[in-house]
Structure 1
Amino acid sequence: MRKKLFFAAIAILAATVCVQAQNSRIVEEGGSGSYKAIMMEEPTLTTHTVFRPQDLSKFNKENPLPVIVWGNGGCANSPSGHINFLNDVASQGYLVVAIGPSNYRQAEAPRPGQTGDVPRMGQGGGMSGGTQGGGMPQMGGQRPQGAPQGGAQGGRMPQMGGQRPQGAPQGGAQGGAQGAGPRMGGMSMGDPAGLKAALEWAIAQNADRESHYYQILDIDNIAAAGMSCGGLQALHMSDDARIKTILVMNSGYFGGEDKASLNRMKQKSVIWILGGPTDIAYENGSDDFKQLSGTMPAFICNLEGIGHGGTYMQPYGGDYSKVATAWLNWWLKDDKESSAMFTGAEPGIGKMAGWSFDRKNIQ
């Protein structure tokens, strides 16, 4: 009888390890941060992918994990085009909950030192009428004249009016986000339902005594972030006061009532991270920043020449990871050293190659 119980226990353990191995992966040796991260699927939230420190024992009520909810380019139902970036942010001490499950068997992230495109996790390429690379569709689902079938390969978002900037390349930036899978079922462009589900899940896990996240999450410090169409999803969370800061990456509103909502945001701060004039979201995001009034701290920065693809799949998320992490550390962890990236007479970002910036209500 004891033998049977012993072997049964071994079988259960082996099955558990097998499932964990299939549903988790170490990306880029766990990232560049102090808390080596893991990319995984949580049984209680199989509609999303979680990036978080491997060792949760380092976190408690006194040192909790801030939370980031993430929306993908193209409103895609997979974060595969952003895994290096998301993993690296998590390795800095964050719980990142991204919309969409991932197929862990079909993709490998680039090794350190590699750039460029990576295999996609699963099939699909963004929204109908949209971009192969996980960007937003053209307004009305139409392609700009001369664009390749399926949209811009680099995952580009239309400017206001749906046109590419003059002289902008057809493809995305090298090292950017490649196709990120089909759109999350039933979601329209900018629908924040997936982000709201991630937010509610994190809050519930923090309160659940049976959860390994019990009382180790900092639910008072939550960010909404996203790329391209995912950036619109993040902006559409602006009426939720539980979100402390919003990161709008390679994105911006098209116009109309959405623009008006910018001055009703309930957050403490907002940042736009764009790819310069060749980023098809450049005009949208720049106009958002221009339209913003009031006293809320706001920052806009551009990495010239990178375009709409960003640096998400460059090693450790590239410069985007450095800038986003500094912003998150400042607003979610009150880290004064990180704030120097954006404050003072000579902000740190101004010393980084290729970056330009502007700011409001930030000294």
Structure 2
Amino acid sequence: MRRRIAVVVAAVLAAVGLGAPAAHAAPGGSGPYPADYETTLRLYNHTIYRPATIPAGLTLPIVAWGNGACRADGTWFENILKEFASHGFLVIANGRPGGTGSTDADMLTDAIDWAIAENTRIGSTYRGKIDTTRIAVMGQSCGGIEAIEASADARVDTSVFWNSGLLSDLENYRLARLHAPVAYLTGGPQDIAYPNAVDDYGRLPAGLPAFLGHLPVGHYGTFADPDGGEYGRVGSAWLRWHLKGDQAARTLFVGSGCGLCTDPRWTVTSKNLN
């Protein structure tokens, strides 16, 4: 009888995603830790990307992600989020896999709160495996606006706003709340968010480290390309620099001969990064 009950309980937990294996699709990403996604009842409205196998001694900085259109589909940006996670990050996207509906900035804060709690929770898969002192917030388009709002959180160490910028001057007060290095990455002048990003960049608080880069790929970028394409390469490097102190990744963004500065595909500028 006890064995039958245990089998039934295990089946129920697997069905709802609590205690289910990490792999829901093929592990991916170009980094050293092939990554996949999972879900949990403890953070029901999110999708969690992480190395399929977390090596002993590896701790994962936290990356909270807001989807374009503020859409509650945690696998809409699957390729680039697996890419980030494959470099040793815990990436938490708003929305369940294939989900519907809309999201808000509070969901990014919820993701951070959950990850910090999981690092110490007895019985957690992630107990002792999360670097709760290194946190990034990212988002695309509407999700980037969510990320701007969530970046007021004092725990955030860096933010990246993809194809995004505030839609109204009435929201500019949110820029004054940014306190950690930021990057605005757009799809060039043909990106509908290009003027918003440029305007935001010009209004950032004095002294705030910031990077502004344009790649002529339009509003939808390279997110759906294998490993997130060029966006995946650049976003991973930004995270490795700011959350892992990777000095090789740093050279992509700073210095007269920085990788993106000399790449003819990119148009870039920065301030206070050195």
TM-score for both structures, normalised by structure 2: 0.91
Q: 1:52 aligns with which of 40, 46, 50?
A: 50
Asked if 1:329 corresponds to 2:240, the answer is yes
Note if 1:285 corresponds to 2:197: yes
TM-score of the superposed pair, with normalisation by structure 1: 0.70
CA contact (8 A) 1:263 1:294 kept: no
CA distance in 2, matches of 1:19, 1:272: 37
Report if the CA contact (8 A) 1:66-1:332 is conserved: yes
Question: How big is the shift at 1:292?
Answer: 1.8
String of CA shifts for 1:234-265, please: whole Å, max 9, x gaps: 10023211011011001001232422332332
Give the secondary-structure state (helix, strand or coil) at the position aligned to 2:188. Answer: coil
Query: 1 CA distance for matches of 2:125 and 2:246?
Result: 26
| Pair 1:343–1:25, CA change in 2 (3 A) | same
What residue in structure 2 maps to residue 69 of structure 1? 64
Aligned residue identity for 2:182: V
1:349 Cα deviation after fit = 1.6
Task: Summarize the Cα distance change of 1:225–1:59 in structure 2 as closer, same or farther, 3 Å threshold.
Answer: farther
TM-superposition CA deviations, 1:39-75 (whole Å, max 9, x none): 111231111000001112x154xx4110001111111
Three-state SS of the structure 2 residue aligned to 1:307 is coil
Q: Flag the structure with more relative contact order, 1 or 2, with Cα contacts below 8 A and sequence separation at least 6.
A: 1
Q: 1:94 aligns with which of 86, 89, 92?
A: 89
Q: Quote the Cα distance in structure 2 between the aligned partners of 1:13 and 1:240.
A: 38
Of the structure 1 ranges 325-334 and 8-17, higher mean CA displacement relative to structure 2 is found in 8-17
Larger radius of gyration: 1
2:119 match: secondary structure: helix
Partner amino acid for 2:194?
Y
Q: Quickly say closer, same or farther: Cα 1:10–1:278, change in 2 above 3 A.
A: same
Please, which moves more after superposition, 287-296 or 69-78? 287-296
1:309 equivalent in alignment to 2:220: yes
Partners of 1:353 and 1:25 in 2: how far apart? 38
Match of 2:178 among 265, 275, 297: 265
Deviation per residue, 1:293-327 (Å, 9 max, x gap) = 411210011111x1110111111111111111111
Q: CA deviation at 1:9?
A: 5.3
Query: What is the rounded CA distance, in whole Å, between the counterparts of 1:254 and 1:7 in structure 2?
Result: 57
| Deviation (angstroms), 1:33 | 1.1
Between stretches 25-34 and 197-206, larger displacement belongs to 25-34
Identity %: 36
SS in 1 for 2:146: helix
Q: Does 1:236 align with 2:155?
A: no
Match of 2:44, SS? strand
AA of the residue aligned to 1:211: S
In structure 2, the partner of 1:216 is 129
Which residue pairs with 1:294 in the alignment? 206
Indicate the SS of the match to 1:271.
strand
TM-aligned CA distance change 1:193 to 1:11, over 3 Å: closer
CA displacement, residues 77-105 of structure 1 (integer Å, 9 cap, x when unaligned): 11332110111111110001111111xxx
Is 1:83 aligned to 2:78, yes or no? Answer: yes
Gaps of 5+ in 1: 103-120, 123-180, 185-190
- Is the alpha carbon distance of 1:89 and 1:53 closer, same or farther for their aligned partners in structure 2, counting shifts above 3 Å? same
CA distance in 2, matches of 1:273, 1:83: 19
Number of equivalences: 273
Contact 2:175/2:200, CA 8 A, preserved across alignment: yes
Change (3 A) 1:257 1:87: same
Structure 1 residues 18 and 293, CA gap change in structure 2 (3 angstroms): closer
